Amino acid sequence: MKTKAKSQQFLKKHVLEESLCTGCGACVGLCPYQVIYHDRTVQLHNCDLEDGRCYAYCPRTLTDLTALRKLLFDPVDWTPEIGSVQGYYFSRAADPELRAAAQHGGTVTALMELALAEGLIDSAIVSSRNQELEQEGLLINDKNNLRRNAGSKFTVSPTVAAYHKLAAKDQGSIGVVATPCQAMALAKMKLKPGTEDAAKVRQLQLVIGLYCGWTLSLEKYLKMLSGHQISRETISGFDIPAGKNVFEVFTKDGVTTIPFEEVDACIRESCRYCMDSTAEYADISVGSARFAGDWADVRKWNQLIVRTAKGRELLDLAIKKGVLEIREAPAETLNELKEAAARKKKEALKNIVRKTGSIKKLLYLDSGDPVVKKYLGAAGKYE
């Protein structure tokens, strides 16, 4: 009699060994068998569960995306390029000190501070970087810690693993700052929570998503920095200036500019198979602004997508309280974002088809999903 494949075995064969693991930590903290080591997910022991939560929550296992969209969003707001859109704006923190401490406009930190101050959440989980440039999810409930951990890091953080661990201790209602893969994992928990996770999932009250095109392999990244004589202890921040095709590293000694082709060689392979660049499964998604003008001005702003009623409530409160400054975004900038997101989807599908050799075998994607079907045509020639 043929036995059903074990969840952990499937995860190892079809996610870890296929270089699809995003390092989000969705499979970690559920049992002792899987851990994060540096920026890798490691299986320590074999598990015999056939329907384990590690498989159910992983953003790189097959997902009923139609059911997920129906659960989370109003269908009238849905777009194939960037998901649900209730509103699209340019935004920045009203507090100049926060803008100086944060990445670009400081919108994410300002919103999380407001959610904490107004009791919408009791705790926030964000990514925190140590001196080795390794990241971990950190539980925060005060303004100063939020600001100390503001800014983009560009390496992977096992944020969902931190959520598993911290929510189990009943931290009250929780907000999470999440990349697209992390937001997907959290959404999958809502769609089909394990019996033991139902209470934990109810604590998840807010997800603020970050635009993300890729993350860097920590090992390759450190070698690149070493090649440019950049000491990791001196690093204060990073940026990707619009239209310059370079990566900027800020240290106490100044700014080092690295050609993007060097950075591209450090990108995690899993990112090349990801279709989501705008955190489509969050309540609000935030990225760096892109509009005509001098970069010195543009880089002080974010672009923001409202996706859910909860996201709309938070943004309206931020405007009412004077926490955010808002600029109406021209329609052409939204179209440009959609075009960029569509290119990401097409490129991911092209890479998947090249990897599998078939337009029918799409790794973690369902070939019948309407978004996949929309963008799959151009990938057929790579079969």
Q: What is the CATH number of the domain that holds 127?
A: 3.40.640
> Measuring CA to CA, how many Å separate 279 from each of 184, 186, 208, 321?
8, 11, 8, 26
Same domain membership, residue 323 and residue 229: no
> Residues 168-178, buried b or exposed e (16+ Cβ, 10 A)?
eeebebbbbbb
pLDDT at 242: 76
Same domain membership, residue 109 and residue 181: yes
Same domain membership, residue 191 and residue 124: yes
pLDDT at 194: 73
pLDDT at 379: 53
Same domain membership, residue 155 and residue 110: yes
pLDDT at 2: 42
User: Residue 80 is which amino acid?
Assistant: P
- What is the spatial distance between Cα 131 and Cα 147, in angstroms, rounded to a whole number? 17
Same domain membership, residue 236 and residue 198: no
Q: What three-state secondary structure class fits 137?
A: strand
> Measuring CA to CA, how many Å separate 365 from each of 37, 60, 68, 82, 311?
27, 8, 14, 17, 27
Percent of the chain with pLDDT over 70: 95
Whether 89 is covered by a domain: the verdict is yes
Same domain membership, residue 278 and residue 136: yes
Whether 65 is covered by a domain: the verdict is no
Whether 14 is covered by a domain: the verdict is no
pLDDT at 1: 37
Same domain membership, residue 299 and residue 195: yes
- What is the spatial distance between Cα 256 and Cα 185, in angstroms, rounded to a whole number? 35
Whether 113 is covered by a domain: the verdict is yes
- What is the spatial distance between Cα 342 and Cα 110, in angstroms, rounded to a whole number? 29
Same domain membership, residue 205 and residue 115: yes
The closest of 274, 349, 350, 322 to 113, measured between CA atoms, is: 322
Same domain membership, residue 276 and residue 260: no
pLDDT digits (tens, 9 = 90+) for 152-184: 778 889 999 999 988 878 778 999 999 999 999
Whether 383 is covered by a domain: the verdict is no
- What is the spatial distance between Cα 70 and Cα 68, in angstroms, rounded to a whole number? 5
- The residue segments making up the domain with residue 256 are 218-264
CA torsion angle for 257, 289, 325, 98 (degrees, to 10)?
-30
pLDDT at 217: 92
User: pLDDT means per 10 residues in the chain (383 residues)?
Assistant: 67 93 93 86 87 92 94 96 97 93 89 95 87 77 80 84 86 93 96 83 95 92 93 84 86 91 95 97 94 75 96 98 94 94 96 94 94 80 48
Same domain membership, residue 283 and residue 252: no
Q: Give how many domains the chain has, as a whole number.
A: 2
**DSSP symbol at 36:** E
Residue that finishes a domain, picked among 246, 264, 282: 264
pLDDT at 173: 93
Same domain membership, residue 101 and residue 169: yes
Same domain membership, residue 258 and residue 151: no
Q: What three-state secondary structure class fits 258?
A: strand
CATH of the domain at 239: 3.10.450
Whether 195 is covered by a domain: the verdict is yes
The closest of 78, 86, 88 to 331, measured between CA atoms, is: 88
Whether 380 is covered by a domain: the verdict is no
Both tokens of 109, joined, read 């930190």
